């Protein structure tokens, strides 16, 4: 059940954002800093909206736990809250370098292109699809279908896992 490449790219970006957030959380704890500001500029508008929405509540609603990348977003939120990190978000349109040279783009767009290149390097070096997503303290349970972690479109993936083998057998 391979995910589409854009979904995989978004997942890798969220995991990299989580890594940065956890690292900065450890730095603030180590140096005893009272608060830190982080300005995230992803090209994933859904991630931004879910992260901004999470700032309005403390305990996750049931419906939010089945949204895409909930485990990573929840861990980022908890890390920020624990370490008094104030996160702000700005959207940058992805793949702007398709029409404009990278060096002619504004800095946030250039950084987005660089991130896409790093994701491409990661895919080339380690494979395009990761079948297991690691557990975090914020999300101690995952949905696995046929040995693959499902982090988005859960309802669709459950239906597909039930129907697809029967359909292939029928063919």
pTM of the model: 0.69
**Could you give the angle at which helices 5-31 and 107-126 cross, rounded to 10 degrees?**
110
User: Is the confidence at residue 164, as pLDDT, over 50?
Assistant: yes
Rounded to an integer, the average pLDDT of 21-37 is 79
Q: Which stretch of 39-48, 96-105, 116-125, 126-135 has the lowest confidence by average pLDDT?
A: 126-135
Q: Which stretch of 12-16, 79-83, 134-138, 151-155 has the lowest confidence by average pLDDT?
A: 12-16
User: Is the confidence at residue 130, as pLDDT, over 80?
Assistant: no
91: exposed, middle or buried (Cβ count in 10 Å: 0-12, 13-18, 19+): middle
Output 24 or 1, whichever has higher pLDDT: 24
pLDDT at 170: 92
Rounded to an integer, the average pLDDT of 67-79 is 84
């Amino acid at each position: 059940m391979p995910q589409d490449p854009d979904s995989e790219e978004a997942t890798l970006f969220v995991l990299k954002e989580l890594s940065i957030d956890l690292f900065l959380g450890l730095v603030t704890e180590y140096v005893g800093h009272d608060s830190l500001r982080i300005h995230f500029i992803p090209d994933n508008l859904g991630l931004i909206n879910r992260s901004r929405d999470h700032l309005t509540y403390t305990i996750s609603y049931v419906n939010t736990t089945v949204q895409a990348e909930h485990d990573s977003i929840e861990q980022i939120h908890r890390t920020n809250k624990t370490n008094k990190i104030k996160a702000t978000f700005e959207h940058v349109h992805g793949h702007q370098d398709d029409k404009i040279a990278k060096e002619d783009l504004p800095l946030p767009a250039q950084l987005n292109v660089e991130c896409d290149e790093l994701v491409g390097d990661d895919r080339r070096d380690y494979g395009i699809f990761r079948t297991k997503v690691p557990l975090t303290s914020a999300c101690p349970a995952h949905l696995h279908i046929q040995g693959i972690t499902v982090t988005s479109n859960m309802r669709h993936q459950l239906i597909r896992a039930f129907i697809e083998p029967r359909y292939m057998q029928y063919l």
